A and B are shown apart, each in its own frame.
Chain A
Amino acid sequence: MKRQLVAAFGCGSLFAIGLSVSGMTNPSKVLGFLDFFGRWDPTLAFVMMAAVATHAVLYQMITRRSAPVFAAAFSIPKQRGIDGPLVLGSALFGVGWGLSGFCPGPVVTSLASGGQSALSFTLGMVAGMAAYGLLQRQWRGRATAIAART
């Protein structure tokens, strides 16, 4: 367990360094990348290309192992179909991303040095996640109650 914590801390630090080096922690740059219909700045496309290429190769090598180094099994979600919540949630995500230039990894990385705007965004993000979690619990409770009655 302790080794897992150290590993997670190290991976988080490396992830943050990658995000900051790449330009993803600069919201104006991110907005420039999303400005397809205006003055498009394609630089950040290279971030995704490099990250996907690296992870795609390493993913294949890693998942050939029977188990990860510090855990009993890999926790990889089973592939489900494409559904309404996936598209609606992603659409909403894009609206918030396009309004601000922030997404979860870069904003947490920017909390110490990104000033007031990273704080405001994180406040909204955590509130949104918490509210969704509470609603989901209520829906589940209601669904179970209905199932028990019928």
Chain B
Amino acid sequence: MPASFMPSAQELMRFAPEMLLTLAGTLIMLLEPFTESGNKSRLAWLALGALLAALGLTAVSAADPGPAFSNMLLIDEFGTFFRFLVLAVGVLTILISTHYLRSGGHESGEFYALLLFSIVGQCIMATANELIMLFIGLEVSSIASYVLAGYLRDDKRNNESALKYFLLGSFATAFLLYGIAWTYGITGTTDLSLIRSALLNPASRPNEVLTAAASAFLFVGLAFKVSAAPFQMWTPDVYQGAPAPVTAFFSAGPKAAAFAMFLRIVLTGFEPLKKEWEPLLWVSALATMIIGNFAALRQTNVKRLLAYSSISHAGYVLVALTTHSGPGAAAAMFYLAAYCFMNVGAFAIITHVARRDERYVEIADLAGLGTRQPLMAGLLTVFLLSLTGIPLTAGFFGKFYIFKVALDQGFIWLAILGLLNSALAAYYYLRVIVVMYMEPAPEGEGELPAPAAGVLAAAVGSAIATFFLGLFPSSLLDFADKARRIFN
């Protein structure tokens, strides 16, 4: 009997990236007390190395797809896609954060360890095929994120951001759990594939009223996690209050993983209920785009502006989700990849401009950046143009595919309203560019130091990815297209 307790080598290999990251995080914490305070960046290098190795292991495990650990995890192209994405976001976040933490005297091993643990949770969310596993992955990611949001404990903004994130996040988790409990009750299982067959089977098909109740609770929990309307209100406060590199991470990694979870639940387990989910998603997608864009119009703080902009981008992804189709899933995946790179890139520049203690985070503080530091201004312009959706950048193709899918699947009004929204969004992105190039630098402000190597590397890397996806979108789209086949 004990033999069955031992997982096979094949299964362990499929779970290798997560195991490696967990070990690396633990190792970092063990080394922390033995590292002199001036040498903490060695721990950052260790974390970076672990993430790169995990990227390699993800590629290896992608060669041998299949289920692992009694169907808890399903390593398929879809999961691999999101694993690559969250690991890449992790690499960029570490590059951005080292200098930020060191200049404030806050660099320590716990930050990198918690970041790695959070990424472990996101990898699990991307590959889990079972609601309990999914939930544990989500919690690993979220609880590490709550701590990261308040990492600079002496900063009131950080405290507040962490508390709000924690309270609303756990409220959302509790609702999600209630939905999962009901789903378990009416289908008798928590495995997404089995839920699907239970819902399809006419003999065991449960009462619509109960499935609607379960779906409603699940939707509330999921919408909170991807910051979709009407559950988006935590996003601006949390993004504004958290340390800038952590905000860069929040806006990309946890959000991409939450969407991976959302896509998998809606397109596999709950696919038989697509008629019921469609109006819910339709309304939420539209409301998310409108609230995000209109609120962004009147922001003066750059972090808050980008927070609202990230809400509106979640709305575009929801448009793709509303179509409930394979091509829609592929478009959502492409969009999320594009969004992650351009958003993290933008936050890298913001981190650089904000300097110590984040004193310069207003839009007005960007004035004259075009003459003071042309390279940084140019990079930020690239990211903002991509967020607007200008051709040649990744953002253009992302929006193009989403609205094309919406039109193909007959969601004409949603596509038109989405296009109007993205035209509106151009206003506030361009306003930032105008301030950077047209307005003179304010007097009496300290000299803006040269960008740190890590920030520069992250920004240039994101810019390259943004252009690459804008010029050769088919390379990634082919992969996304292969990945979405699992939904048909």
A and B: interacting chains: no
Chain B residues proximal to chain A, CB less than 8 Å: none
